[in-house]
Chains A and B, each alone.
Chain A
Amino acid sequence: GQNIDQPTEMTATEGAIVQINCTYQTSGFNGLFWYQQHAGEAPTFLSYNVLDGLEEKGRFSSFLSRSKGYSYLLLKELQMKDSASYLCAVRIQAGTALIFGKGTTLSVSS
């Protein structure tokens, strides 16, 4: 079976940095995606990693280690609006759809 693990909940304060981890054991690997989803809204694409290393996009960065089956999403300078669910998703092979982890609910307080 396919397994994607993320922490269920995390809390942080405004201005802080938070790292959301994702580990996966899947039958194949053709890319890892991070999405942000606010309650009642659709997922919004944040980042994509297919090679090892760090991808940076403004306040958000994502890291991948394929040998360890591990990724993290790093959020800097947290803002209240960053309170949301963060979904890690793996594409098993090219041409197939995504398999999502259960998501991490991040609560940012002032």
Chain B
Amino acid sequence: DTEVTQTPKHLVMGMTNKKSLKCEQHMGHRAMYWYKQKAKKPPELMFVYSYEKLSINESVPSRFSPECPNSSLLNLHLHALQPEDSALYLCASSQSARETQYFGPGTRLLVL
């Protein structure tokens, strides 16, 4: 089983809203990732958690706040986003930071 689930599938929010994206995996993977993907562009890394600790933050604006409550869950809290933040947000996980990453279906976010 290589399933990573993400909710919601679609999200529309205003610039003053606060929302959260959720990601879950039950494969025992200890590394989890958030990527942002704009249309016709490759995924760009935002955050990496390894053993529930933030190990890489690729200089992402503070309006994006990740949280890893336990080894199976990864959240991305959104606040005061801009229209240019509209994108597909992908969660991925891997056995460890050295192993193959498996992606969830993504959350398509539209900021109005």
Contacts and interface: CB of A to CB of B under 8 A. Distances in A.
B41 A102 contact: yes
Given A97-B56, A98-B101, A43 B43 contact: yes
Nearest to A41: B105
Where chain A touches its partner, the secondary structure class is loop
Nearest to B6: A42
Nearest to B47: A97
Interface string B43-85: 1110010100001100000000000000000000000000000
B23 to A, nearest CB: 11
A33 B103 CA distance: 13
Interface residues of B, number: 23
Interface of B: 2, 33, 41-45, 48, 50, 55-56, 88, 90, 97-98, 100-106, 108
Interface of A: 30, 33, 35, 40-45, 48, 87, 89, 94-103
B42 A103 contact: yes
Contacts of B43: 43, 87, 98, 100
* Most A CB within 10 A of own CB, among B2, B43, B90: B43
Contact of B45 (A40, A87, A97, A102): A97
Query: Could you say which of A41, A97, A102 has the most chain B C-beta atoms within 10 Å of its C-beta?
Result: A97
B33 A42 contact: no
Given A33-B100, A95-B98, A43 B90 contact: yes
A1 to B, nearest CB: 14
Contacts of A95: 50, 55, 97-98
